[in-house]
Amino acid sequence: MSPDLDARGLKCPLPVIRLARLARELPSGTTLLVLADDPAAESDIPAWARMRGHSVTLERDGEHTAYTVVLG
């Protein structure tokens, strides 16, 4: 599956800002795949998701982290 947001190479706070901008346009229940390689995204994206009532899971593969965000 290709990412809905490829934030690799972007530094904090851009990955979470771009995710928030994208999510704003989408209905509840939408699943987004986000790829990021900035270490700060590992705390920023889950924190943003919790504050907005979304769920998030993540998988690391060594080069980047894949975040699956389900909009609540």
Question: Are 32 and 68 in contact, with CB atoms under 8 Å apart?
Answer: yes
**Residue 12 among the catalytic residues:** yes
Q: How far apart are the C-alpha atoms of 52 and 71, rounded to whole Å?
A: 8
**Nearest Cα residue to 22 out of 61, 62, 49:** 49
Catalytic residue selected from 3, 6, 8, 12:
12
Give me the active site residues, please.
12
